[in-house]
Amino acid sequence: MRPIQIYQVPKHRLRVTYSDTTVSLSLAANATFEDIARTLDELPNQRYGEPVAIDITLRAASNAAFFI
């Protein structure tokens, strides 16, 4: 049986997938949705075309509280 491998994902990442390529960018720890929207707007649509998928990874702060 092969061991399960877990890869460390960067804390804050924006990944945009197009039909033929993927663009992956780091985000600041305090990035807001406005910052993400501005970054998406700055990507050249003439070069890549329209995005097929957008993946945003934001990690919770170590002192974050979760309520259920």
Which residue bears the tokens 């990507």?
A: 43
Q: How deeply is 14 buried, as exposed, middle or buried, from its count of CB atoms within 10 A (0-12, 13-18, 19+)?
A: buried
pLDDT mean across residues, the chain: 77
Share of the chain above pLDDT 70, in %: 72
pLDDT in tens, 21-32: 888 888 888 888
pLDDT range class, residue 49, cuts 50, 70, 90: confident
Q: Of the candidates 64, 62, 58, which has an alpha carbon nearest to the alpha carbon of residue 36?
A: 58
Q: How is 2-63 classified by DSSP, letter by letter?
A: PPP--PPPPSEEEEEE-SS-EEEEE--TT--HHHHHHHHHHS-HHHH-S-SEEEEEEPPPTT
